[in-house]
A and B are shown apart, each in its own frame.
Chain A
Amino acid sequence: MKNTLKFAASMAVVAATGASAAEITGKVKLNGEAPPAREITPIKADKMCGALHTKPVMTRTYVVGADKGLANVAVYIKAGLPAGKTYTAPATKPLIDQVGCVYEPLVSVAMVGQTIDIKNSDAFMHNVNCQAKVNKGFNFAQATAGQVNPKTFDKPELAVKLICNVHPWMSGYVHVFDHPFFAVTDKDGNFSISGDLPDGKYTVEANHLKSGVVTGEVEVKGGKATLSLELAVK
């Protein structure tokens, strides 16, 4: 009897808020033959950076994994969220690392107000020059290994570019959203968007820096949904 009451109470809460833990999973594939990656030769030419690599460092324009899965694609809910609802920024802090004179990861995602840790793992100077167009940009130096500077963005903006002018081949991108329903595809193109997402229909967009965007419709039922998206080589 006690357990039945507890269950009824929890169901009532879910019904009242209209939300529950949900997950949209899926894969983004690349349609077409990606051009071969090219070696970033300036890394080798730079004494300090070159010494950190034993293998050639390649461009990451298209990183294609198993079954044509495309990595480094930001996937996020484009439409369908309850109108007027505001979200609290997650407490987790995405890490953007500068390691071996390369930004890791290439593509990051964050919510407005969410703290992003920008780190220098190299034992020499990098500068982080944020070339935001909607948000306020910044440019600061990170002189020592292990230095971390927390940063936040105030407004939603896609593909905010971070560059290092000390090593001008270095660039990374951050997509900033006004909700927490986003993900970045892994090396095989898989993604998982999870959170307090009510059942219903949503438009999901996949955004690749070179291929552009593609959208798909998905219906979350019982907190689950799957979606496959395809981007073409451009």
Chain B
Amino acid sequence: MSKPTSASTGLFRYSLGVTLATLGLVCMGGLVTSKGVGMAVPDWPTSFGYNMFALPISTWKTGGIFDEHTHRIWASTVGLLVVFLTRWVGGAESRRTLASIGFIELTVGVGLLAFAGSNWRNEAHFLMGISAVVLLAAATPWGRSPSSSTAVRMAWMAFWTVQIQGSLGGLRVVLDQWTVAGTTGGILFGVAHGCLGQLFFALLVCLTFRLAPTWNSIRRPDAESYPKLLSRMACVLVLGQLLLGLLMRHQHAGLAIPDLPLAHGQIWPATDAASLERYSARRDGFEPITAFQIHIHMLHRLNAILTLAGVVAVFFKTRALPPETGARRMASVWFGLVCTQFTLGILTVLYDKPADIATAHVAVGSLSLSAGILTAWLCGRTNPVKAAEHVGKTSIPQMTTPAAVG
């Protein structure tokens, strides 16, 4: 096995940095929702009419504005970092594509400014700002070859995802009051924004693992004993759990049921009008508990048990694998994370959903999804022919073939 080059180690470290910054961003987003301050800054892409980078510090420091505005600035920074990550992973070949995208974004921005009137001025400036970053990345004269085709594909996915994610965050603010089928734009785009954020983070985790100098030393599956299907199913359960969690958070259903392990003293709480009135009477505030909140909350609890069972099954199934397999180690990490997540979920209910515990619940949820996807990926890498193709394309250390490792 060849030694990792300093460039590939540097790229790995940069990718790790971007991933950690994204984890911070996920936490910040979780905190914004936990505190209910998502609409503290009512406009976007401006903040109170200012260019978001020029908001006076005194305003930024006020109450929930601090959380929401910091989330925006942090997100913009992650966006910038991801553009350069794409450039670095994509090598010199990415310059032309980035230049084209940057040019198109600049043209649309200038077009908006020229023809769409003053109402679109802020959006035009925002788009032109993004185009400037993309064009700057294209102009950066790094001449290195692209990373493996898998890593390049992932980096481009991250590039597009971060732009869609930013737009969803903006639409969540701008279309907050818009209603479709009885649901507000705030909920629709908020859930989509939360979900894509978790997937985006998992994508970056996978990319960073793919760029890790140790990746090539990870033993590939060489037997059917790898729980491919089981790990994928458990991943789907985790993803479903995250979706249910997001729905709960945005529907304020986190405290619709305040007791554990029973729910309002029952196994599955009744949701007739009299029962709902009784549940609502038990809590402070004027908002009544709805049947939808009860059902979503119960589904989240039920799926938590299924998810835990699924991950425990993967954990035990991978125990039989050789220690040097990444799948075994990653399944252990996944198991640890899901157990932590389960505990945080219980604490969230028992301690009346404090913002710090609820946010930790979101962060560990993201890590669990990432660990799950990685485990499933490591269990599913069964094609040694493809592996050989990767060896030919990549500039990072040569991949050790399964036979050589085995």
Contact = CB atoms under 8 A, between A and B. Distances in A.
Interface of A: 38, 46, 48-49, 59, 61, 124-125, 127, 129, 136-141, 143, 159, 165-168, 171, 173, 209-210, 233-234
Contact of B281 (A49, A136, A234): A234
Interface string B301-317: 00000000000000000
Interface stretch (B13-21, B32-40, B228-236, B369-377): B32-40
A27 B280 CA distance: 26
A11 B177 CA distance: 51
Interface string B250-275: 00000000000000000000000000
Interface in B102-131: none
Interface of B: 35-42, 48, 59, 62-65, 68, 176-177, 277, 280-281, 284-286
User: Which 6 residue pairs of A and B lie closest in terms of their CB atoms, listed nearest first?
Assistant: A209-B286, A165-B40, A166-B63, A137-B177, A168-B36, A139-B42
Given A127-B39, A137-B177, A166 B64 contact: yes
A129 to B, nearest CB: 5
B272 to A, nearest CB: 16
Given A38-B284, A141-B48, A143-B48, A168 B42 contact: no
Contacts of B284: 38, 59, 61
A140 to B, nearest CB: 6
Contacts of A143: 48, 59
Nearest to A140: B42
A125 B286 contact: no
Most chain B CB atoms below 10 A, which of A127, A143, A171, A173: A127
Contacts of B35: 168
B358 to A, nearest CB: 13
6 contacts: A125-B59, A140-B42, A143-B59, A167-B63, A168-B37, A210-B281
Nearest to A173: B286
Contacts of B280: 234
Contacts of B176: 129, 137, 139
A173 B63 CA distance: 22
Contacts of B36: 165, 168
B48 A46 contact: no
Contact of B39 (A61, A129, A210): A129
Contacts of B59: 125, 143
Given A129-B39, A141-B42, A166-B65, 9 more contacts: A38-B284, A129-B42, A129-B176, A138-B177, A141-B41, A143-B59, A166-B63, A166-B64, A168-B64
Contacts of A167: 63-64
B362 to A, nearest CB: 17
Contacts of A141: 41-42, 48
A210 B286 CA distance: 5
Nearest to B60: A125
A194 B303 CA distance: 56
Contact of A127 (B42, B177, B277): B42
A141 B48 CA distance: 7
Contacts of B277: 234
Nearest to B47: A141
A209 B38 CA distance: 25
A70 B36 CA distance: 30
Given A61-B285, A139-B176, A166 B37 contact: yes
Nearest to A124: B62
A125 B42 CA distance: 12
B184 to A, nearest CB: 8
A167 B66 CA distance: 11
Most chain B CB atoms below 10 A, which of A38, A49, A167: A167
Nearest to B63: A166
B64 A165 contact: yes
A16 B39 CA distance: 53
A168 B40 CA distance: 9
A49 B39 CA distance: 19
B252 to A, nearest CB: 11
Contacts of A38: 284
Given A38-B284, A141-B42, A165 B177 contact: no
Contacts of B65: 125, 166
A137 B175 CA distance: 11
A173 B285 CA distance: 12
